[in-house]
Amino acid sequence: MDIPSAVNNIATSFAYLAERMLALEAKSRKYKRRVTAHRATIGAMEREEQEMRETWVAREDHLLQRIAELERENDVLWRDNAGLGEENRQFAAENRRLWEENGKMKVVEVVDEVRDEGTGVKREKEEEEASEEGRESKRLRIEGESNNESGYGSEEESDDDSNVDSSEESEDDIVVISKEEFNSAAWGN
């Protein structure tokens, strides 16, 4: 082989190697751009993860504080419940006492009108002052027909409280009064 041919072959080889180096540099730049993009993506993901971690830590702290507040409120409610239980026992005792007293009282039946059992005539309550003791006594006056006209009672019966026989109470010991009498007794009139 002569020298020119060898030089030509060497020049061709160098040109091929230069081409390959340029191609490899292009690929390297391309991969570097990809690596840079991936690194940017990874950095963004890392920042997002950090923000989420900080958010969750803040939420966890808030939840722990809220749990502590609820536990304190629960303790207060338990103490209040204990106090209410004591009040409830007191009310129950008072209720039993009132029921016992109620059992000793007469049953009062309030009706619109009170009518005499014998004649069916409406009775009206009247108040008058006692002549000697100065106290108010109540009597029932029968309005309508007199005893003689209705055939009820005798001429010797007077128009005082003797006309109302206390023995006429029922076996159940029920006292029948009108609404006006009940309201008057309730309001102290």
Q: What is the DSSP letter of 178?
A: E
Rounded CA-CA distance 11/182 in Å is 135
Rounded CA-CA distance 138/136 in Å is 7
- Give the other-Cβ count within 10 Å of 181's Cβ: 20
For the entire predicted model, the pTM comes to: 0.32
Position 178: which residue type? S
Give CA separation, 86 vs 36, 79, 81, 93, 164, in Å.
Answer: 74, 11, 9, 11, 50
Position 20: which residue type? R
**pLDDT at residue 173, rounded to an integer:** 55
Where the chain has pLDDT below 50, the residues are 120-171
CB-count burial class (<10 Å; 0-12, 13-18, 19+) for 166: exposed
Rounded CA-CA distance 90/84 in Å is 10
- Tens of pLDDT, residues 63-113: 999 999 999 999 999 888 888 888 888 888 888 888 877 766 555 555 555
**pLDDT at residue 47, rounded to an integer:** 93
**pLDDT at residue 90, rounded to an integer:** 86
Terminal-residue alpha carbon distance, the chain: 150
Rounded CA-CA distance 189/181 in Å is 9
Q: What is the DSSP letter of 166?
A: G
Q: Where are the beta strands (DSSP E) in the chain?
A: 107-111, 123-129, 136-142, 174-178
User: Nearest to residue 116, comparing CAs of 90, 83, 140?
Assistant: 140
